Chains A and B, each alone.
Chain A
Amino acid sequence: MSVRQPLADSRVYLAERSTPRERGEPGLPRLLSGIPASGALPLGEHLALHGPLPASHGRGWTRARRGDGALIEEVERAGLLGRGGGAFPTAAKLRAVAGAARSTLGGRPIVVVNAAEGEPVSAKDRTLLRSLPHLPLDGALLAARAVGAREVLVGVCESRPEVREALASALAERRAHGADALAGTIDVQLHPVPHRYVAGQESALVNHLSGGPALPTFTPPRPFERGVRGRPTLVCNVETLAHCALIARHGAEWFCELGTDEQPGSALVTLAGAVVHPGVYEIEHGSSLGALLDAADGPTAEVRAVLLGGYSGAWVDGSWLPQLALSDRQLQPYGASLGAGVVLVLSTRACPVAELARLTRWLASQSARQCGPCVFGLDAIATVFEQLVLPLALDRRGAERRLRTLAATVDRRGACGHPDGVARLVASAVEVFADELAQHARRGPCAACSRPSELPGLAR
């Protein structure tokens, strides 16, 4: 399976600096097209930029008159993968919900837009919602029609009032405009979701929207079978739905003009850490990590390592940068994946062991505390790192072996993916930071341990 070379003129676009592109033009930006410098893109301009929401005559809907199945088929041909971190084929999800709705007596399905964005470093979802709310809303309504839902619930993080306001205004705009013939039959509601790492997890979100706590549940049954209030539920990430809205307008072939064979299209990434211009960028799948850093005007210091995917992602060594390309298949030999699209750059100025101590302690605090291996295992992992940076720790030897063992012990032992993410983080850290770990095991804390952290979002 060959990797298609990126188009010569495809570039990486910084969210704040992109320029509008005519509908269906090749190259980037796509999602970020027309993003305003401040505030939200009004509905009129959104429609002028992308065209009307396809009813049944949109370009690219070759079998539109069959109704509901058309979007699913188009998304399937486009090969869209979920952008919330799981990279699950979106068409399969849509089919599963539509199928569950038909076969069970579970009632009319519900669409849930996962805008919780519990990953502290990730800003792509809230950027879309705050500045380009109509694109994911288009996608949500199209998905609702595709699975036969009449309700869309948007789970928004409660500590982001600006996002909720932007969405509320956008919804009011749509109602006033009368833009959606189908919007009238589909009820869109905003629901605040607690600001917790696990609150964005699929079953936790469904649990919360059903009136329970924002904590993961034991699956089966999965949300697509029995979700909110017992009905088949489609849970989709904000960015995924935005892609659906463009695929519905411009078609699968257009979508596949960018990207690789396994991972077509573009994606949003949040670039953070030791770079000159951190922020949300739109990239083409398969473009090089070096190009992304160049677009951000480079790192602020020499790069020690990059964390890919988020705080539950994997570390890659800075020396591998020239070979790294931003697609899951190309990252897989390095043990990493794009995940929720976070690219966090750690410079050589920081002490990786101290940063990992802070990070793993934070991750342990974010446990839902429902499953023993997560509660005890994550605490044990954080303690090992903390012992390596404390001046008077009793036993530091065997830290690396202990970390490997703990990572293997907690992996896939919880009800949700939280311990799996920590296992991945720690396993990759033990490889990438082997030298620093050995030094700390021998000699304890280093001079860089007390430097302020380069990792954002760990305050809570």
Chain B
Amino acid sequence: MSPVHRLRVNPIACEAHGMCHELLPERISLDEWGYPILDGAPLDPALLAHARRAAAACPTFALLVEQRRRD
């Protein structure tokens, strides 16, 4: 069973720097105040590397790539 990866944001840590949207526009859009909107769906394996890069670029580590075993 391949693991499932999902994006999550810690809304308390998020300060609307917006780099996540620049690095993963396919899955992250910004609301009118600059805060990320995530859809919660699993990540394509093709986008995983980009998602990890977006999470590493976040200045407050608010963006998280979470992994769950698919049961």
Do any CB atoms of chain A lie under 8 A from CB atoms of chain B in the complex? yes
How many A-B contacts are there with CB distance less than 8 Å?
Answer: 38
Say whether B58 faces chain A, with CB atoms less than 8 Å apart.
Answer: no
> Which B residue's beta carbon lies closest to that of A216?
B12
Which residues of the partner chain B approach A371 to less than 8 Å between Cβ atoms?
Answer: 11-12, 14, 35
* A86 at the binding interface (Cβ < 8 Å): no
| Pairs across A and B, CB under 8 Å, 14 listed | A216-B12, A218-B12, A370-B12, A371-B12, A371-B35, A372-B11, A372-B14, A372-B15, A372-B33, A373-B11, A374-B11, A376-B32, A409-B32, A413-B31
| In the complex, residue of chain B having the shortest beta-carbon distance to the beta carbon of A370 | B12
User: Is the pair B31, A409 in contact by a Cβ cutoff of 8 Å?
Assistant: yes
The residue in chain A whose Cβ has the minimal distance to the Cβ of B11 is A371
Q: List, in ascending order, chain A residues with CB within 8 A of B16's CB.
A: 372
Residue of chain A at shortest CB distance from B9: A413
A365 at the interface (CB under 8 A from B): no
**B29-46: which residues lie under 8 A (CB-CB) from chain A?**
31-35, 37
Contact assessment for A415 and B31 in the assembled complex, using a CB-CB cutoff below 8 Å: no
Interface residues of A in 208-253 (CB under 8 A from B): 216-218
Number of interface residues of B (CB under 8 A): 13
Residues of B within 8 A of A (CB): 10-16, 31-35, 37
Shortest CB-to-CB span from B17 to chain A, Å, is 11
A residues in contact (CB < 8 Å) with B: 216-218, 370-374, 376-377, 409, 413-415
B11 touches A413 (CB 8 A): yes
Q: Which chain A residues border B10 with CB–CB below 8 Å? A: 218, 415
Task: Kindly identify which residue among A218, A370, A373 contacts B31, using a CB–CB cutoff of 8 Å.
Answer: A373
* List of B residues within 8 angstroms of A217 by Cβ: 12
Q: Inside 8 A of A409's CB, which chain B residues have their CB?
A: 31-32, 37
A216, A377, A413 interface centre (most CB from chain B within 10 Å): A413
Shortest distance in angstroms between B34's beta carbon and chain A's nearest beta carbon? 7
Inside 8 A of A372's CB, which chain B residues have their CB? 11, 14-16, 33-35
Beta-carbon contact of A376 and B11 below 8 Å: no
